[in-house]
Amino acid sequence: MPGFELWSDAERKHVNDVLETGILMRYGFDGPRKGIWKAKELEQEICNSFGSKHAQLVSSGTAALTTALSALGIGYGDEVIMPSFTFVASFEAILSVGAVPVMVDVDDTLTLDPAAVKAAITPKTKCVMPVHMCGSMADMDALQAICKEHKLLLLEDACQAIGGTYKGKKLGTIGDAGTFSFDFVKTITCAEGGVVMTNNEDTYIKCDGYSDHGHDHKGNDRGAEPHPFIGYNFRISELHAAVGLAQIKRLPEFLAIQKKNHAALKNILATIPEISFRRIPDAEGDSCTFLNWFLPTTEIMQAVVAEMKAQGIFGGNFYWFRHNWHYINVWDHLKHSITLNALSPELKEKVIFHANKDFSASDAIISRNVSTAISLTWSEEQIKEKGEKMVAVIKKVLSEMAVHA
């Protein structure tokens, strides 16, 4: 899955270019950097590769979401609809701009259920934020129609779906803005980093300033640059951008391997009639970072997970229903709104309310799901061995549970 699995001399060369100049900051120091502008070059490569008019690199995927939300004017009193299955950064970013994260159920795509989105809209809703989890996409036609009907912004959290597409368009470039994460375990990595992509020039200009203390970046004297608005320090470094510049040029290579390995493992698991797979709105657009599969009941899946762990073969598999990073039922810190700095009483009350709603529809899906990470380094023999061991465990559990039924 992650680009770090296939580290090469290309990444080393770009990093060494920066080290030889000694200029690690992306802005200023025009003379000493000797024409080396890795962040600028990577932003252009992102636009070229994904078809976005503008790209603003930042320090992380979380920073990208925060920057995008701010640039879109989302803040105090606004509600942002997001899925109950995501990464914690999604609600962290919403809270960081003073808005209300409104979690709603996912469907068998493992992304936002359009019906749940429609039901959650209130006069305070300003944005719908689909999260393209585990490499695949939300039903973007349905979500775009909802946003158009209700005059809402559409912000794509595509941090886990780099290289995925929906009906010919790259994920992250379909909404008013979109974000990628380039952290260490993403499809392409900068070690740490992220990007906001948008086709709206005004949104881009705001992202550019907001991510660097509000600098307008006009002129050649950084110290004399005006600050049209308050911003923050979400800058990426030249070293991180250098790694990403090598990785983005290898993305087609990574995606081809992922898709081949994904198909091979899926073919093995598909021999079990009781296994079903995630519904993908556009199967051709799956980036194939994970193989997402279901068993008929929560009881069966939990027994399979326990047996795989007992046999020492669960590594690389994720049971999100009991995973601290990704699912609402274990986010106690959100459910109780535990923060180091005090939220306004109004915001805290809303956070607690929305985090403690009934998510039984999501539970019924996530509790039956396991996601298997697809490695770029697997050999055909390793895929066969992994798949056969998983199949053996699943058949064993199904047989034992049938006897006791």
CA distance 172 to 165: 9
CATH of 3-251, picked from 3.40.50.300, 3.40.640.10, 3.30.830.10, 3.40.50.2300, is: 3.40.640.10
Q: What is the mean pLDDT of residues 378-393?
A: 98
Q: What is the pLDDT of residues 39-78, one digit of tens each?
A: 999 999 999 999 999 999 999 999 999 999 999 999 999 9
Nearest partner of 102 among 87, 116, 85, 82, judged by Cα: 82
Q: What is the pLDDT of residues 138-158, one digit of tens each?
A: 999 999 999 999 999 999 999
Q: What is the pLDDT of residues 121-130, one digit of tens each?
A: 999 999 999 9
CATH 3.40.640.10 maps onto the chain at 3-251
Kindly state the DSSP code that residue 235 receives in the 8-state scheme. Answer: P
Q: What is the sign of the dihedral through the CA atoms of 324, 326, 332 and 333?
A: positive
Identify the three-state secondary structure at position 194.
strand
Q: What is the pLDDT of residues 309-331, one digit of tens each?
A: 999 999 999 999 998 889 999 99
CA distances from 88 to 42, 65, 115 (A): 27, 12, 23
pLDDT at site 221: 83
pLDDT at site 403: 80
Furthest CA-CA distance within the chain: 77
Q: Above 80 in pLDDT, residue 405?
A: no
What's the chain's average pLDDT?
97
List 38, 126, 170, 186, catalytic entry: 186
**Does the active-site annotation cover 186?**
yes
CA distance 171 to 156: 8
CATH 3.90.1150.10 maps onto the chain at 255-404
Nearest partner of 153 among 65, 88, 34, judged by Cα: 65
| Homologous superfamily of the 255-404 domain (CATH) | Aspartate Aminotransferase, domain 1 (3.90.1150.10)
Q: What is the pLDDT of residues 275-291, one digit of tens each?
A: 999 999 999 999 999 99
- Using 50, 70 and 90 to split pLDDT, how confident is the model at 79? very high
